[in-house]
Amino acid sequence: MGHLHEISPQLTMQALPIEAVPAVEVGPGCLRRDLPAGPGLRMWVVDMAPGAQWPVLDHHETGESYYVISGEVIEGDVRHGDGTYVYFAPDSRHRPHTESGVRLIGVNLGYAAFLAAGGSSESITHCYHPTQG
């Protein structure tokens, strides 16, 4: 599963093909691959098959960002194609779907990292659910 390269005694790097990361089916046609990331940071790749919809209304207590690598994702009535960066503020909700299929890479902060970065605990009203991402 990729290679671990020694850069210095204090720093290492991991490089791996996305397909080598185990996929978790979070709903029909929706796969998530959780990527290695630093403390307090969550990164993932999501693949949605043509016609798929995220299985739940996704709540992001600390916010979320994603970049559309290929295909198209639809948020409400707005379509986001290849090369689009999408940001959701803390305590936002969405339920994406796609007609053509999509691959995107997402990122958000864990609770402690969010607070350490200056986020407000008043905006956190929901616990993490495993289908989020």
Boundaries of every domain in the chain: 22-123
Task: Express each pLDDT in 56-66 by its tens digit.
Answer: 888 877 789 99
With 0-12 / 13-18 / 19 or more C-beta atoms within 10 angstroms meaning exposed / middle / buried, residue 26 is: buried
- Predicted confidence at residue 90, as pLDDT, reads 86
| CATH of the domain spanning 22-123 | 2.60.120.10
Q: What is the pLDDT of residues 24-47, one digit of tens each?
A: 999 999 999 999 988 888 899 999
pLDDT tens digit string along 64-74?
999 999 999 99
Question: Whole-model pTM?
Answer: 0.78
Strand partners, 80: 73
